[in-house]
Structure 1
Amino acid sequence: MKASQEGYPLLWLKRALVNGSSLPAPARRKLYLKTVLSALAVIWLITGLVIVITPTRYTCKWVLILPGAGAGAVVSLDSLGQASSSSSSPYLSSAIDPRENYKAIALSDKLLSDAAAQLNLKASALGTPKLKLPSQTGLMEFSISANSAELAEQKAWAHYRTLQGTLSHLRIDEIHIRENGVRMGLESFADKVHQSQANIVAFQSKTGLVSLDQFKEVAVTIEHLRQSQVNLTAKLNGGLASQQLLEADLSLTASQSTDLLKLKNDQLFQQLLVNYTESTALLVGLNGHFGEQHPQVLTAKTEQKTMLDALHSRCQKLLTRCDPKLMLILSVDDIDGRAELMQKLINITTENEGLTHELASLSTQIDEWEIRLKHSNDDAAKLEDLHRDHQLATAVFTSAIAKIDVGKADIFSAYPLLQLFAAPTRPEKPDKLGLILTLVGGIAASMMVIVGLSILWIRKPILQKILTND
């Protein structure tokens, strides 16, 4: 027996695999059940801890796009001709994708640090956004996660603003470098232009003459102003005549008409006026039947005085100054039929006041233009010479600028335009990908335990059959 075991050193392992334990079936079943439950408990305990410990994450997404079309422009220079500029599409080169350059910028440590600084965060707390570049498109799909929906949105906007700011800074820096190179060859031309312009400005400041056309137009302007003065005077005289006729018909001034209409349109004043009229009528009726010291007469007088004081108080509040004559007119006359005439008087008076101010301003302008005409006669020839020198210097300078810099006018030539296609929006629901993966892992581990123990349970007949055949 001992010799047999020495010849087959692994015989005991074979026997253990085939025959298993010597436990009876109920005890063996109970052992397997405990093993399964223990393994599942450990698996789901770990899964639950992972779910509880892992913080909730919210993912904010936004999409940027690089327009595919190029831009072109034609600049027309007066007396010089035309100059054209154009920028090609950023996708013309098949070897370079501008989105890859932007990807490197968007994910650079410097940009992430600047974006985090906007939120008073560390770069590590901001995290690195995920970026996808769909093929055959100009889209750049960004996404970034945070522990709250608001923070995720703030991170997205901070990254977007920082990216655009970085690109703007790079464009400005690139333009600045080019301009420095251009200015080195144009400083002498610019000095001549500035000097000629300074001569013109100094002469204009000294004389007040801006151009030769201005000198020719001064006399025409004065004539137009005088004609306008005549027309305004005639119009004002007609308005004053109409105002006097209306004031005579109404026996009121425009100011009184305004006050009357304001009192008439005030509902509280009208109600007080009605009450005053009724109390007055009541007093007149009582005076016809009773003596002056009768209690009813005294009560009616008190009520009338109260209404009169209320009318006067309301009138003072509406008009600041109250004329008893106006209240008498409202209480005695029916002004509804004359309201239209009073409004017409107010309108005509207002128009006359405006015409008076306009006429005074027009007279002042005529005097100023006449003084200006007297001082402009001797300066026209000198101004013409200065303008000729300035035009020559400007033509040379502008021509050089157009030939050297017109082809570089597009600020997006080096760094293409980047537009916001889909703005960052606050996520409504948390990102459940981590939770789903954790649950899938727990389910997979549970299935593996169950399948493994099931195979162990049914291994005896299978292995016995296989080993017996062998």
Structure 2
Amino acid sequence: MDNVIERDILEYEKISVPYAEPIKNVSKKSSNEADYQINDSKDNSLSELAYLFWIKRAALEGSKLTPNARKKLYFKTALVSLLIIWASAFLLMAIKPTSYVSKWTLILPGNGAGALVSLDSLGQATSSSSSPYLSSAIDPRENYKAIADSDLLITSAATSLEMPVAQLGKPKLKLPSQTGLMEFSIKGSSAKEAQDKAWALYQSLQNLLNDLRADEVNLRESGIIQGLAGYNQKVKLSQDAILAFQSERGLVSLDQFKELALTIERLRHNRVNMISKLKGIEAEEKSLMLHLGTTADEAADLLKLHNDKFFQQLLTSHNEILGKLHELSAHFGNNHPQITSLNAEESKLQNALSERIATLVSNQKGKADRTLINKLLLDDIDGRADLMEQLIQLRATYTGINEELNTLDSQIVQWETRLELSNDDAAKLEDLHRAHQLATAVMTSAVAKMDVGKADIFTAYPLLQLLSPPSLPSKADNLATMLLLVAAFGASFMALIGLSILWIRKPLLRKMLTK
């Protein structure tokens, strides 16, 4: 391809300089002019080829410098590049402000605390603060991180230090996984300033959390106080209802109804046990049915047919006929005399089997179920007889327990009806006492909960402890310097790599263009 391009260029040069050849006569001159007119259409394509050839030559050959001059040029370029890179790096290191980093660590407790207050004959009040890590969807440290980054906390800390918010800055926070730690850090122009900023942020965080906890307790207490008025009204109404009923009907003892209630409870307990036992039998029966692939009624029919000698003789003959049919079908067609004869015998045996099944199982003549015959032909009845008997026994047991359960349900309904009809007054009085006790317990529990809840201030905002106090840095932070050095080394490396690629570009480009 290169030879073609060079040949075209040479032709183009010849065409571009038409007067290089000697002119012998006028007729030859007119002939050249005609050739120029013919080649005008090729000028554009040849000029494009010339341009491409020039680009190729410039990329492959480069400048006309000698190797020594080229080395000096590349060496000077590398020195200038490295000088600019490292001068910029040292200038930035010289003008950057010195900073110190103070670090401190907070920890959230892993276990919650609780309190239980029991009130005799009234109820109980419970106050507890669960572990802040019980919920896998919410990490309390993320909430604290948002609070630590809030403008309110930064402003409060800056005010306590009497410095602008911009000078204070925001702390950096890390949350190590699988722990309850919160690692803070903040920068300062001096070691003392960094430590003072850290203490101010820590105190502001604790003060803000205390304010939030107090506000949460006050809101919860105000809600309980609003509900106490309704609780008092319910207690008064329940007392008035008991007094009115006692004045109208007189006092009614509940002792005479205890035995009746206990009897009903025992019957219900027996019913629950019976239902549980019934479900167990039903599950076992279903398991056997799935294993055997048949029902209890069908298993009984199979065993009955299996134990009938005449039926077994017919079944054996039927199997022999089927075997012969299968053997002859491989050699003869369906219209062969032997095949026709065997089909007739098989049909007779099939009818005989159906009539025998109808006689033994359903006590009626006619064609029996083909599925039953197939199971007798294919299944190993002898090996599964014990399981079938077990399935039949489970079905009988299930039927018996189900009948007992229906009888027990009827008895429970009768006892409940008797209790409802004969104990309206006692039930009414018991309901009134229960309503009064419930109203009293709710009101007392609400009051106790309000008092106990005041002591539990860490429900919404868990306890936050100082594990490692703010440190006083002993030396300045060198992170920026290290980053500048890494950047300078990287830039130097990239500059040298770029110059190296430029140096070896000729053989690489030749190889690429050749391919």
**Length-normalised TM-score, structure 2:** 0.47
Partner in structure 2 of residue 39 of structure 1: 81
Partner in structure 1 of residue 141 of structure 2: 99
**Take 1:400 and 1:56, find their aligned partners in 2: how far apart are those partners?**
59
Correspondence 1:409 to 2:448: no
Structure 1 residue 438, shift from structure 2 partner: 0.8
Of 114, 121, 128, 2:163 maps to 121
Contact 1:85 1:408 in 2 (8 A): no
**Take 1:26 and 1:166, find their aligned partners in 2: how far apart are those partners?**
73
**Take 2:203 and 2:504, find their aligned partners in 1: how far apart are those partners?**
64
Of 179, 187, 205, 1:163 maps to 205
Runs ≥4 residues deviating over 6 A:
76-82, 397-400
**Take 1:399 and 1:449, find their aligned partners in 2: how far apart are those partners?**
78
* Structure 2 letter corresponding to 1:44: W
Structure 2 portions without partners, runs of 5+: 1-12, 17-42, 230-442
Partner in structure 2 of residue 62 of structure 1: 104
Structure 1 residue 10, shift from structure 2 partner: 2.7
Contact 1:83 1:403 in 2 (8 A): yes
**Take 1:407 and 1:171, find their aligned partners in 2: how far apart are those partners?**
11
Of 149, 160, 164, 2:191 maps to 149
Partner in structure 1 of residue 464 of structure 2: 418
Partner in structure 2 of residue 438 of structure 1: 484
What is the SS of the residue equivalent to 2:472?
coil
Bigger radius of gyration: 2
Structure 1 residues 386-444: Cα deviation after superposition (integer angstroms, max 9, x where no partner): xxxxxxxxxxx988632544355301111110111111101122221211111111111
Partner in structure 2 of residue 89 of structure 1: 131
Distance 1:68 1:437, change over 3 A: same
Structure 1 residue 5, shift from structure 2 partner: 4.5
Equivalent residue pairs, number: 265
What is the SS of the residue equivalent to 2:504?
helix
Structure 1 portions without partners, runs of 5+: 188-396
**Length-normalised TM-score, structure 1:** 0.51
**Take 1:80 and 1:27, find their aligned partners in 2: how far apart are those partners?**
105
* Structure 2 letter corresponding to 1:86: S
Q: How does 1:253-332 map to 2 (within 5 A)?
A: none
Partner in structure 1 of residue 499 of structure 2: 453
Partner in structure 2 of residue 175 of structure 1: 217
Of 159, 179, 182, 1:137 maps to 179
Distance 1:28 1:408, change over 3 A: same
Contact 1:130 1:144 in 2 (8 A): yes
Contact 2:100 2:194 in 1 (8 A): yes
**Take 2:130 and 2:503, find their aligned partners in 1: how far apart are those partners?**
73
Structure 1 residue 26, shift from structure 2 partner: 1.9
**Take 1:429 and 1:19, find their aligned partners in 2: how far apart are those partners?**
56
Q: How does 1:184-263 map to 2 (within 5 A)?
A: none
Partner in structure 1 of residue 288 of structure 2: none
CA RMSD of aligned residues (A): 3.2
**Take 1:63 and 1:425, find their aligned partners in 2: how far apart are those partners?**
10
Distance 1:400 1:31, change over 3 A: closer
Distance 1:462 1:121, change over 3 A: same
Structure 1 residue 73, shift from structure 2 partner: 2.7
Structure 1 residues 148-182: Cα deviation after superposition (integer angstroms, max 9, x where no partner): 22211111111110000000111112222333344
**Take 1:426 and 1:136, find their aligned partners in 2: how far apart are those partners?**
28
Distance 1:460 1:94, change over 3 A: closer
What is the SS of the residue equivalent to 2:90?
helix
Structure 1 residue 109, shift from structure 2 partner: 0.8
Distance 1:186 1:458, change over 3 A: closer
**Take 2:200 and 2:51, find their aligned partners in 1: how far apart are those partners?**
71
* Structure 1 letter corresponding to 2:107: I
Contact 1:86 1:410 in 2 (8 A): yes
What is the SS of the residue equivalent to 1:34?
helix
Distance 1:403 1:156, change over 3 A: closer
**Take 1:25 and 1:161, find their aligned partners in 2: how far apart are those partners?**
71
Contact 1:182 1:405 in 2 (8 A): no
